[in-house]
Structure 1
Amino acid sequence: MIDELDLVVLKRDLPAERLAAGDVGTVVLVHRHGEGYEVEFTTLSGDTVTVVTLDAADVRPVEPREIVHARAVR
């Protein structure tokens, strides 16, 4: 179960939002008991890139042994 304030990993590219599969975001709202999520994606310095509504199939929970990879947002 993914809850508010959990970190999630994007499973597909969203070019219109400047997001790529693998980007990590924070769930800010859970829709319909987990059918969808409002997710905020930020830079490492804390600036919001975008907040998007995503289906449950578009994200997955962060795994304990994963590492974050940095990339520039254009």
Structure 2
Amino acid sequence: MKFNEFDAVVLLRDYQKEGLKKGDIGAVVMVHTEPNEAYEVEFVNEKGITKAIITLLPNEIDKA
């Protein structure tokens, strides 16, 4: 599935090192097409402060 910048996405697994859990919602902030399709996704806390920005593959996220 292809995503666009600013799409809301949901994590499909935990990322303990980053403090993220399956089901967390983030926003795509950058789309990479080379060498492979990947997405920079930003996750924020309830106060709107960034918790993590991580690069994810298409099979690691889904539309929120």
Query: Does the pair score TM above 0.5?
Result: yes
Higher strand proportion (structure 1 or 2): 2
Structure 2 counterpart of 1:26: 27
Mark the runs of 5 or more structure 1 residues left unpaired by the alignment: 63-74
Runs of 4+, deviation exceeding 2 Å: none
What is the root-mean-square deviation of aligned Cα atoms in Å? 1.5
Following the alignment from structure 1 to structure 2, what is the Cα–Cα distance between the partners of residues 30 and 24? 17
Identity among equivalent pairs (%):
42
What's the TM-score once normalised by structure 2's chain length? 0.89
**Which structure is richer in relative contact order (CA contacts within 8 A, separation 6 or more)?**
2
Alignment length, in residue pairs?
A: 62
Structure with the greater alpha carbon radius of gyration: 1
Mark the runs of 5 or more structure 2 residues left unpaired by the alignment: none
